[in-house]
Amino acid sequence: EAGVAQSPRYKIIEKRQSVAFWCNPISGHATLYWYQQILGQGPKLLIQFQNNGVVDDSQLPKDRFSAERLKGVDSTLKIQPAKLEDSAVYLCASSFVSGKYNEQFFGPGTRLTVL
């Protein structure tokens, strides 16, 4: 079974530029998550989709971050304009909608460096 795919793996941009990340979840997984992991910290949830609807985006900085999941499969996360503090690894995860034990499967992440 193929895992969660993310691209690009690395991205270096200058502040105020725009950047987009792509995620393809495991086939059949209805729930998709985007996390931000700053160096030395645990992942922080940015947004959660169930199919193509947003379940939780309470920690998404909406003035500069946006995300969409068209057709309930692939997803993109965009930052516009980027700030220095956005330097982090952006992780995508997916899970079945099932019961109370939520096993999330993570992709390898995109490492963003903002100069």
Partner 1 sequence: TQLLEQSPQFLSIQEGENLTVYCNSSSVFSSLQWYRQEPGEGPVLLVTVVTGGEVKKLKRLTFQFGDARKDSSLHITAAQPGDTGLYLCAGVVGAQKLVFGQGTRLTINP
Applying CB under 8 A, does 106 fall inside the site for partner 1? Answer: yes
Answer for which of 25, 60, 109, 112 binds partner 1 (CB under 8 A) is: 109
Q: Are 30 and 52 in contact (CB under 8 A)?
A: no
**Which SS3 state, helix, strand or coil, does residue 39 take?**
coil
Site string for partner 1, 33-72 (x = CB under 8 A): -------xxxxxx--x------xx----------------
Applying CB under 8 A, does 25 fall inside the site for partner 1? Answer: no
| Token couple for 103 | 């096993």
For 40, residues 6+ apart whose C-beta sits below 8 A from its C-beta are none
Q: How far apart are CA 78 and CA 65, in angstroms?
A: 6
Answer for which of 7, 51, 80, 102 binds partner 1 (CB under 8 A) is: 102
Residue corresponding to tokens 């979840």 = 25
Interface residues with partner 1 (CB under 8 A) are 4, 31, 40-45, 48, 55-56, 91, 93, 95, 97, 100-109
